[in-house]
Amino acid sequence: SKPAAEPATEPAAEPAAEATTEDATAEEAPAEDTAKVDMVMGMITDTGGLGDQSFNDSGWMGLERLEAEYGIERKVLESESADDYGPNLTSFAEAEVDIVYGVGFLFNESMAAAAAQFPNQKFAIIDSVVEADNVASITFAENEGSFLVGVIAGMTTETNKVGFIGGMKFPLIEKFEYGFKAGVKAANPDAEVISNYADSFEDAAKGKEIATVQHQQGADVIFHAAGGVGIGLIQAAEEQGFWAIGVDQDQSHISPERVLCSMIKRVDEGVYQVGQSVIDGNFEGGVHLFSIANEGVGYSDNAGNLTEEQVAAAEKWKAAIATGAFVVPQTEAEFNAFEVPEI
């Protein structure tokens, strides 16, 4: 049967390069060895649904790990429209599952309402902050991960032009954009970033068209934060011979020759950790920030396309960010004010 039994995606979207030890155990741990935890965890996707190659899939993978390791039961509700979010939350809450994940910042207001309505229900939200004791807010420093791939892009480009394709002009996506731009600037002050928004997370054909145009305008490395639209980018890269940078998970399996590297955002890790805290009985509300410092975001290169020099540079910046040596911009204003620090 569908999601309940099968993995939502092939394990192709492998864990990031800097795989954590849990990952290793996840694959080994045979279910029968573990004492089965009698818990049900529910996840609600946004309208993108499962198969979005982005946070919905990634979140579902987090639950998959919990299922494999602890034998919990996972359930999913895919939202047909934005006004399903609230009712989907309440129907899970009413079913008294052990925790309800809302994947996406658009759950923000409806989750605040649901959390108030069901004070004893545990909730978690991805990519947004809901201030309530029974809600764990799982957020990511996308700007930091994007900064690193920006550095790599800046070093890779030979035309001094790189591209960025965003899904929609959400503040969240702008975090990718400006983090990336800052990284490019840090590595290559002469490089220009061409930026387009597809106004879609689905229209792969449009993604390909935009990528083609950016490439014609001279861009030879293009990064995307646009879900399915990015598939079009990778196709274009493969056909026309330039570099694409993947997002969220390692996307090199789509085109090992043409995906330079991927910016990693470990939604699965966030979901996993919060789920684990529920199992262990130490669930806590509040903000759970996943950043470079705790390996929640980063970059990966499963296909091995990066040069040592590039890896070295990226690692240098990564260390600096992890120690808080400087703050990566996440909005246009912050980017405009951004001075590349001496590291």
Partner 1 sequence: MLVIFIAIIASALRLATPLIFAALGSVFTERSGVVNIALEGIMIMGAFFAILAMEFVSNPWIAVLVAMIVGAITALLLGFLAINLKANQVVAGTAINILAGSLTAFLLEMVWHRSGQTDTVANALTKNPETLAFLEKIPVLGSLFSGLTPFVYLAIIFSGVSYYVMYKTPFGLRIRAVGEHPRAADTVGVNVYRVRHICVLISGALAGLAGASLSLGTVNMFREGMVSGKGFIAIAAAIFGKWHPLGAFAACLFFGLTEAIQIQAASLGLGWIPSEFLQMLPYIATVLALAGLVGRAVAPAASGEPYEKGHR
Partner 2 sequence: MKKKINYLLENVKYPLLAIALAFLIGSIFVILTDNSPIVAYSALLDGSLGNIPKFGETLLKTTPLIMTGLAVAFAFRSGLFNIGGEGQYLVGAISTVTAAWVLQDLPGFILIPIILLAGAFGGAIWGGVPGFLKAKLGVHEVIVSIMLNYIALFLTNFLVRVTLNPSTLQGTEQKAYSVMIPEHARLLKFNEFMPVFGYSSLHVGILIAIACAVGIWFLLFKTTIGYEIRSVGHNPYASEYGGISISKNIILSMMISGGLAGLGGAMTIAGLTFKVDQSSGLPGYGFTGIAVALVGKNHPLGVLASALLFGIMSNGSRKMQFEGIPKEVVGIIQGIIIIFIAGEAMLKFMTTRKKKEEKGEVA
Q: Which is nearer to partner 2, 18 or 94 (CB)?
A: 94
In angstroms, what is the minimal distance from the CB of 69 to partner 2?
A: 20
CA atoms of 21 and 288, how far apart (whole Å)? 20
Binding segment toward partner 2, per CB under 8 A, in 138-146, 149-157, 195-203, 242-250 = 195-203
Q: Which is nearer to partner 1, 7 or 341 (CB)?
A: 7
In angstroms, what is the minimal distance from the CB of 240 to partner 2?
A: 26
CA atoms of 100 and 121, how far apart (whole Å)? 8
The pair phi, psi for residue 223, each rounded to 5°, is -105, 145
Contact predicate 252/302, CB 8 Å: yes
Binding site for partner 1 (CB under 8 A): 2-3, 6-10, 49-53, 57, 169, 194, 196-197, 199-200, 202-210, 212-213, 216-217, 228, 231-232, 235, 239, 254
In angstroms, what is the minimal distance from the CB of 316 to partner 2?
A: 30
Choosing from 9, 22, 39, 47, the residue that interacts with partner 2 (CB under 8 A) is 47
Where helices occur in the chain by DSSP H, the ranges are: 21-28, 55-70, 85-94, 108-117, 142-156, 171-187, 204-216, 229-240, 267-280, 308-322, 332-336
CA atoms of 177 and 336, how far apart (whole Å)? 13
CA atoms of 18 and 49, how far apart (whole Å)? 28
With a CB cutoff of 8 Å and minimum separation 6, the contacts of 18 are 295, 298, 300
Q: DSSP for 132-173, please give it.
A: -TTEEEEEE-HHHHHHHHHHHHHHH-SSSEEEEEESS--HHH
Q: Which does 62 bind (CB under 5 to 8 A by kind): partner 1, partner 2, none?
A: none
Cα distances (Å, whole numbers) of residue 322 to 54, 74, 229, 298? 24, 33, 31, 11
Q: Which does 197 bind (CB under 5 to 8 A by kind): partner 1, partner 2, none?
A: partner 1
Cα distances (Å, whole numbers) of residue 49 to 75, 78, 140, 266? 13, 5, 20, 18
Binding segment toward partner 2, per CB under 8 A, in 51-59, 196-204, 275-283, 319-327 = 196-204
CA atoms of 260 and 298, how far apart (whole Å)? 14
Q: Binding pattern to partner 2, positions 219-258, x when CB under 8 A?
A: ----------------------------------------
Q: Which does 276 bind (CB under 5 to 8 A by kind): partner 1, partner 2, none?
A: none
Does residue 337 interact with partner 2 by CB under 8 A? Answer: no
Does residue 120 interact with partner 2 by CB under 8 A? Answer: no
In angstroms, what is the minimal distance from the CB of 92 to partner 2?
A: 9
Task: State the SS3 of 223-234.
Answer: EEECCCHHHHHH
CA atoms of 210 and 202, how far apart (whole Å)? 13
Does residue 195 interact with partner 2 by CB under 8 A? Answer: no
CA atoms of 74 and 338, how far apart (whole Å)? 43
Lookup: tokens for 305: 């396309």
Choosing from 18, 28, 80, 315, the residue that interacts with partner 2 (CB under 8 A) is 80
Choosing from 17, 39, 71, 91, the residue that interacts with partner 2 (CB under 8 A) is 91
Q: Which is nearer to partner 1, 161 or 318 (CB)?
A: 161
In angstroms, what is the minimal distance from the CB of 254 to partner 2?
A: 21
Q: Which is nearer to partner 1, 2 or 81 (CB)?
A: 2
Choosing from 9, 17, 71, 75, the residue that interacts with partner 2 (CB under 8 A) is 75
Instruction: List residues binding partner 2 (CB under 8 A).
Output: 1-5, 47, 75-78, 80-83, 85-88, 90-91, 93-95, 105-106, 108-110, 117-118, 167-172, 174, 199-202, 331
